[in-house]
Amino acid sequence: MTTTAASSAVGRAAIQVARQLGAVPLAVTRSGAKKDALLAAGAEAVIATDRDDVSEAAHRHTGGAGADIILDTVMGPGLADLSKAAKPGGTLVTAGWLDPRPASFPMNWPLTIIGYASFEHTLDPTVVRRIAAFLEAGLRTGALRPTVDRVFGLDDIVAAHAYLEEGRQVGRIVVTV
């Protein structure tokens, strides 16, 4: 499994969920500066877009096969290139839009594309119980561990925002009241 924005809270959670399910997580991040933190978080390998071609690196780390699943929370014009990291018949899940520019449409088939943008699954009580049981098991066993990068007081909200904008965080930024 390949996940973009791997140093974000969602990306770190995706790495942990992949490990919990027995998948091999490949972490994609903008900068190699976060490599050690992502490897320590459970990534099998880190692909830094400031120096690596994502498709080539994903194929190299999967023995030429490509990723079964790509979780993309960035979107934007690089989406078509990112999709080339998938194996034939792989799945691309888009679950965010960190890059507000128009997304390029992948044309490498066969590829299943799933756009996730809402929470309709939370309306089904059976699904909610399954999700809760999965998360509870992960928290209980330690497979899932929320990651807090830094805590700011409400008086430091400007500094918290500036830190977030710098993009150096690995995990959540918390503001206490």
**String of DSSP letters for 26-44:** EEEES-GGGHHHHHHTT-S
Which of 19-33, 79-93, 117-131 shows the lowest per-residue confidence on average (mean pLDDT)?
A: 117-131
Torsion-angle region of 49 (φ positive above 0: left; ψ -120 to 50: alpha; else: beta): alpha
Closest by CA position to 111, among listed 70, 139, 149: 70
Give the tens place of pLDDT for each residue, 73-106.
Answer: 999 999 999 999 999 999 999 988 888 899 999 9
pLDDT confidence band for 125 (50 / 70 / 90)? very high
Q: Where are the domains of the chain?
A: 2-117+127-146, 147-177
Give the tens place of pLDDT for each residue, 28-86.
Answer: 998 898 899 999 999 999 999 999 999 999 999 999 999 999 999 999 999 999 999 99
Give the global pTM. 0.84
**What tokens were used for 5?**
């924005």
Fold annotation for 2-117+127-146: Quinone Oxidoreductase; Chain A, domain 1 (3.90.180)
Check if the beta carbon of residue 139 is closer than 8 Å to that of residue 163: no
Check if the beta carbon of residue 76 is closer than 8 Å to that of residue 61: no
Q: Give Cα separations from 153 to 148, 159, 160, 176 (angstroms).
A: 14, 10, 9, 5
